[in-house]
Amino acid sequence: MRRRRAAVAAGFCASFLLGSVLNVLFAPGSEPPRPGQSPGPSPAPGPGRRGGRGELARQIRARYEEVQRYSRGGPGPGAGRPERRRLMDLAPGGPGLQRPRPPRARPLPDGAPGWPPAPGPGSSGSGPRLGCAALRNVSGAQYVGSGYTKAVYRVRLPGGAAVALKAVDFSGHDLGSCVREFGARRGCYRLAAHKLLKEMVLLERLRHPNVLQLYGYCYQDSEDIPDTLTTITELGAPVEMIQLLQTSWEDRFRICLSLGRLLHHLAHSPLGSVTLLDFRPRQFVLVDGELKVTDLDDARVEETPCTSSTDCILEFPARNFTLPCSAQGWCEGMNEKRNLYNAYRFFFTYLLPHSAPPSLRPLLDSIVNATGELTWGVDETLAQLEKVLHLYQSGQYLQNATAGGRAEYQRLPGSTIPQEDYRCWPSYHHGSCLLSVFNVAEAVDVCESHAQCQAFVVTNQTTWTGRQLVFFKTGWSHVVPDPNKTTYVRASLT
């Protein structure tokens, strides 16, 4: 694993981290050649496959046509008037397209589209802005991870902003298996890079608060392959389920709400209903507490064709579902239902009910059960998640709480208790008991429910729902001034 990471890191540095040693690769270049120029070299057919050159060209064209459909399909955000030139044609430099030097004339496999691509019609106007110039003096490169096709790195731009760079992993399975089959490194790179290009187009077309932001892209020569593609995106933190289970219910609910809003957007996107064929926590990241999808190269828009309901079986490891076949010959809602059940089995069932406020548990259980049985679609699921948010944010979930048996608490404004902490779970702070409350009455209820609690300190900090953060204490023997906090102590210690 260390050797693999070292190899990937070396390839990345050669491609993207153009510091003092590799600065020549980012020297300003001329405009790309215009359409009609010979666009690229012909890879040799693989040694173990007859007709490999034609098969590789067929696969490249199939991926190109998929990218073209997504680029032109529907009036997506930022889309301009469709242009006549093909997405993959070589064209004069457009928005965000910068290249260090023009490629030499190189023939392509028979029937393969040109490379590199020009920006699609959706990228004009409000499209991405960062290009190769933004990467000339990046610093602090860190390997984040890699998958079947891509490697991801974290870098810091000259202005200080941290971004993620994605590129085809030269040591990855996708490129390696293709080279072994066809023996054509450049052609295989182009095949793999179309997945990155597809993701780039979808990030732009599906823009939404829960879709990772695309900041830009760059073409540059790398190793023996010209015009390699790098995408520049928003940086997020990996989703670690074990860590999430140790966070507050409020933060876990935020992730589920983010996912519900994302699935609603995908079901009603300008491209049609989009399904995530590779739906796992690793395909998402967290940005300031919000869940965002980052990996879209395995997304699909087309619904499944059918002649009867027997063609509409939605298969999962634990169970299967049979969906109706519409009169138009498509499985009804299969893309939407696939996303929803995956949300249930990877997120909702673990994050929604556990340690939730008791009065919200029945509604949360209904959401989990309905998504697990696919009795609801994404519209109803999101409506119920938004209802939970309203009840929680407005404090209505506290209406059934009683004040009977409460102790009296004395208010000490402008003060805090610096020590006398105890641990509780879940807490916003590992070394103390820091929880969010709707109001002081709820803080009293929490303190009364903890045997060791004798006081609490209300801070001026709030969570994403506007709830106040409160420290709960074992005593109040040492109270000190603090203008930003208010201390409440039990009127009589027993």
Average confidence (pLDDT) over 461-485: 95
Output the CA angle 274-275-276, nearest 5 degrees: 125
Crossing angle of helices 173-182 and 185-205, in 10° steps, is 140
The model's confidence at residue 33, banded by pLDDT at 50, 70 and 90, is very low
Distance of alpha carbon 51 from its chain centroid, rounded? 39
Q: Report helix, strand or coil for 21.
A: coil
Q: Is the pLDDT of residue 24 over 60?
A: no
Burial 373-384 (b: 16+ CB within 10 A, else e): ebebbbeebbeb
Q: What phi and psi values does residue 229 have, to the nearest 5 degrees?
A: -100, 130
Q: With contact defined as beta carbons under 8 Å apart, do 276 and 81 qualify?
A: no
pLDDT at 421 over 50: yes
Active site (annotated) includes residue 278: yes
Q: What is the pLDDT of residue 116?
A: 54
Using CA atoms, how far apart are residues 436 and 363, in angstroms rounded to an integer? 21
- Residues listed for the chain: 494
Question: Which residue of the set 278, 311, 445, 482 is catalytic?
Answer: 278
Which pair of structure tokens corresponds to residue 41?
A: 């070299």
Distances (CA, A) of 165 to 12, 205, 294: 10, 19, 12
Segment among 128-137, 353-362, 434-443 with least mean pLDDT: 128-137
Phi-psi region of 96 (alpha: psi -120 to 50; beta: other; left: phi over 0): left
Residues 149-165 have pLDDT tens digits of 999 999 999 888 999 99
**Nearest Cα to Cα of residue 229 among 124, 104, 110, 88:** 88
pLDDT in tens, 89-102: 322 233 332 333 32
HEC string for 207-270: CCCCECCEEEEEEEEECCEEEEEEEEECCCEECCHHHHCCCCHHHHHHHHHHHHHHHHHHHCEC
Any idea what the Cα angle at residue 332 is, between residues 331 and 337, rounded to 5°?
Answer: 100
Quick check: 388 pLDDT over 50? yes
Q: How far apart are CA 153 and CA 12, in angstroms?
A: 8
Can the peptide bond before residue 357 be classed as cis, meaning omega within 30 degrees of 0? no
**Coil, helix or strand at residue 282:** helix
- Flag the least confident range among 223-227, 386-390, 441-445: 223-227
Q: CA–CA separation, 399 vs 384, rounded Å?
A: 19
The stretch 290-300 carries a mean pLDDT of 94
How far the first Cα of the chain sits from its last, in Å, is 59
Type of residue at 444: V
In tens, the pLDDT along 49-61 reads 544 678 999 999 9
Does residue 172 surpass a pLDDT of 60? yes
Give percent above pLDDT 70 in the chain: 76
CB atoms within 10 A of CB 155: 21
Assess contact for 480 and 412: CB atoms under 8 A. no
For 344-374, the pLDDT digits (tens) are: 999 999 999 998 999 999 999 999 999 999 9
Residue 280: which of 159, 165, 148 has the closest Cα? 148
The pTM score is: 0.79
Residues near 177 by Cβ (< 8 Å), separated by ≥ 6? none
Contact between 312 and 323 (Cβ < 8 Å): yes
What is the rounded distance in angstroms from the CA atom of residue 214 to the CA atom of residue 200?
Answer: 7
Which residue reads 């059940």 in tokens?
A: 341
pLDDT at 434 over 70: yes
Could you tell me which residues come within 8 angstroms of residue 349 by beta carbon, excluding any fewer than 6 positions away?
A: 368, 372
Averaged confidence pLDDT in the chain: 80
* DSSP characters over 97-161: ---SSPPPPBPPSTTPPPSSPPPPGGGTTTS--B-GGGGTT-EEEEEEEE-SSEEEEEEE-TTS-
Continuous segment of H or E residues that includes residue 291: strand 290-293
pLDDT computed for residue 13 by the predictor: 42
Lowest-confidence region among 6-20, 39-53, 134-148, 200-214: 6-20
Query: How far apart are alpha carbons 45 and 179 in whole angstroms?
Result: 10
- Strand order in 284-287's β-sheet? 237-238, 284-287, 290-293
DSSP assignment of 444-486, as one string? HHHHHHSTT--EEEEEEEE-TTSPEEEEEES--SS-EEEEEEE
> pLDDT grade, residue 426 (50/70/90)?
confident
H or E element that contains 437: strand 433-437
